[in-house]
């Protein structure tokens, strides 16, 4: 049942560790840094593809590329045919640049200090990529019957407004210095809460 879903911290952190480990290749500031979002996307697909329709699961998964190595991922958990749609949009697989010499720890490797998960992308936005991936994994494994189809969109090129044609441009979103400082971190407890919010949204619109 969808009502019983809870974030599994160990699995979430393990996935986030893989994503942050790709962050060096996800930096978006051309021409110096052109991200290869598929390096993050492959970890999303590794988790969700075994639960896709082609493998006998409920998820509809599309990987839509606009340039080599740069794709968006659209995931659907089907509800009733005329039940409407609930969408989670905006988890992006690129990050802002990081100069390791200016950091007190390796920005391209996830580290943990109590509740803090540190590394480039933990807040903006690889943490949310991991969160949404885990939400769809659990939803698919539960095979919950819901009215509204739940859609998740993982996008490329959010951090760069210079190059068009890769995704829905979100110019100016997520540019707070707290996100992009030389000490980027997110709280695991906040992700646990965020997972519950997503669960409650699904339950609210499918009650």
Could you tell me the residue ranges of all domains in the chain? 2-205
Which of 26-35, 54-63, 186-195 reaches the highest mean pLDDT? Answer: 54-63
Phi, psi of 95 (to 5 degrees): -135, 165
pLDDT in tens, 33-91: 999 999 999 999 999 999 999 999 999 999 999 899 999 999 999 999 888 999 999 89
Overall residue count recorded for the chain in this entry: 207
DSSP one-letter string for 152-199 = EEEES-TT-SSS-SSS---TTTT--HHHHSTT-EEEHHHHHHHHHHHH
pLDDT tier, 166 (very low <50, low <70, confident <90, very high otherwise)? very low
pLDDT-based confidence at 1, cuts 50/70/90?
A: low
Which CATH number does the domain 2-205 belong to among 3.90.870.10, 3.40.630.10, 3.90.1150.10, 3.40.30.10?
3.40.630.10
Q: 69 Cβ partners below 8 Å, 6+ apart?
A: 36, 37, 38, 39
- What gap in Å lies between CA 19 and CA 14, rounded to an integer? 9
- pLDDT of 36 reads 97
158 catalytic? Reply is yes
| Catalytic residue chosen out of the listed positions 37, 124, 158, 167 | 158
Q: Which of 37, 38, 76, 94 is catalytic?
A: 94
Is 115 assigned a catalytic role?
no
The mean pLDDT value of the chain amounts to 89
Question: Does the pLDDT value for residue 179 go beyond 60?
Answer: no
């Amino acid at each position: 049942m969808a009502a019983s879903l809870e974030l599994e911290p160990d699995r979430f952190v393990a996935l986030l560790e893989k994503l942050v480990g790709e962050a060096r290749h996800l930096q978006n500031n051309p021409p110096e840094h052109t991200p290869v979002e598929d390096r993050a996307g492959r970890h999303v697909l590794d988790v969700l593809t075994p639960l896709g329709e082609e493998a006998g699961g409920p998820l509809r998964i599309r990987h839509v590329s606009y340039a080599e190595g740069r794709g968006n991922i659209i995931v659907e958990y089907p509800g009733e045919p005329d039940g409407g749609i609930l969408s989670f949009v905006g988890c992006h697989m690129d990050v802002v640049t990081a100069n390791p010499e200016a950091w007190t720890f390796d920005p391209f490797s996830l580290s943990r200090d109590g509740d803090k998960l540190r590394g480039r992308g933990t807040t903006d936005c690889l943490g949310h990529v991991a969160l949404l991936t885990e939400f769809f994994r659990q939803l698919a494994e539960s095979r919950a019957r819901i009215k509204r189809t739940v859609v998740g969109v993982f996008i490329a090129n959010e951090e760069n407004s210079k190059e068009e044609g890769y995704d829905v441009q979100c110019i100016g979103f997520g540019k707070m210095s707290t996100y992009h400082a030389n000490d980027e971190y997110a709280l695991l407890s906040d992700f646990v809460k965020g997972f519950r919010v997503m669960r409650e949204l699904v339950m609210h619109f499918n009650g």
